[in-house]
Amino acid sequence: MATLQSLFNLTGTITGQSDSVSISVNPVLTIGAPSVTSGGITTTASTNQEVIGTADADCYLYVRNTGTSGGGTGTGQIDVVTVDGTKTFGNLKVGDFGFFPIKTGIGVSLKYASAVTNVEYAIFTRP
Amino acid sequence: MSQIKASFELNGTLIGQSDPVAIKISEFILDMDNPSITSATRTLAAGSDILIPCAQGAGVDHYLYIRNTGTNGAMTGTGKVVIKDDHPSAVREISELEVGDFLFIPVIGHASDGGIEVFYDTAATNYVYAYFRRI
């Protein structure tokens, strides 16, 4: 097994709220095999691109719509969908990212939404 | 409208891989607005909590952050936080947070269903969460 050092920060001030946003966490994640350290795809109309299968173990998924903000040319959004297509639970505009554990048995596909875009992703199995 | 800055990093070396993990996003600006919850803490001892209600409407999306902070918020214990989408029909488990785990995801809004609900799993635990309506 290996470990990854994570860091996540959210900071800012929201109109009408006295307390500022100040979230900062940095847990160490224990990682098993297999993994995808860095992957890239370009979305295609009418195609769900599977990145995690239903038979895959619990894992951490990182995904970012790199589009035009990441050196790509894509302007579309990405829907994050269960592999069976029954549930769309996430949506990433250009520049948006997500990091979340995925339970085994669900599977995840990334789906074209509105226009072609570029996707960066990584998957780390959780032991 | 307001703006908050998000940063994210993952660093390390995986056994058997020549390339290190070096993911870095620095101060990416998120445009957001109310309704939002800047910070909230809940104890999950049984049942479930609805974090983002169903039927917010198509196009009403949120950035969601959740962290399992464990027993008394001290990062100890074994209780998991199970995250499900779609209340009350066709509930699907999406994610499961062990103590110390966190998630950050832009959650899509739906016209007629879809929402985020967290469920008790094996033992009582605490979690913190925040969400911000994405513009």
Q: Where are the domains of chain A?
A: 36-125
The answer to whether position B64 is within a domain reads yes
The domain of B87 spans 34-134
Q: Which residue has the tokens 């505009």?
A: A93
pTM listed for this prediction? 0.93
The answer to whether position B85 is within a domain reads yes
As for how many domains chain B has, the answer is: 1
Q: Looking at CA atoms only, how far is residue B75 from chain A in angstroms?
A: 10
The answer to whether position B72 is within a domain reads yes
Residue A59 β-bridge partners: A102, A125
Q: Looking at CA atoms only, how far is residue B37 from chain A in angstroms?
A: 9
Do residue B25 and residue A93 have CB atoms under 8 angstroms apart? no
Residue B87: pLDDT over 60: no
Does residue A27 belong to the interface with chain B, where contact is any CB pair within 8 Å?
A: yes
Partners of residue B15 in chain A, C-beta under 8 Å: 1-2, 33
- What does the pLDDT read at residue B114? 63
Sequence-ordered strand ranges (E) for chain B = 2-12, 21-44, 48-52, 62-68, 81-85, 92-97, 102-107, 116-120, 125-134
What's the rounded mean pLDDT across residues B91-113?
87
Any idea what the CATH number is for the domain that residue B71 is in?
Answer: 2.60.120.510
A-B CB pairs within 8 A amount to 175
Which of B1, B11, B21, B134 has the most A C-beta neighbours within 10 Å, making it the best mutation to test the interface with A?
Answer: B21
Q: Looking at CA atoms only, how far is residue B13 from chain A in angstroms?
A: 7
The answer to whether position B48 is within a domain reads yes
- Which residues, numbered 28 to 57 in chain B, qualify as contacts with chain A under a Cβ-Cβ cut-off of 8 Å? 28, 30, 32-34, 36, 38-39
- What does the pLDDT read at residue B72? 87
Q: How far apart are CA A117 and CA A73, in angstroms?
A: 7
Q: How far apart are CA A56 and CA A106, in angstroms?
A: 9
Judge contact between B115 and B55, C-beta under 8 A.
yes
Residue B134: pLDDT over 80: yes
Judge contact between B116 and B52, C-beta under 8 A.
yes
Interface predicted TM-score of the whole assembly (ipTM), two decimals: 0.93
- The hierarchical CATH code for the domain A36-125 is 2.60.120.10
Residue B112: pLDDT over 70: no
- What does the pLDDT read at residue B34? 85
Q: Indicate the SS3 state at residue B72.
A: helix
The answer to whether position B16 is within a domain reads no
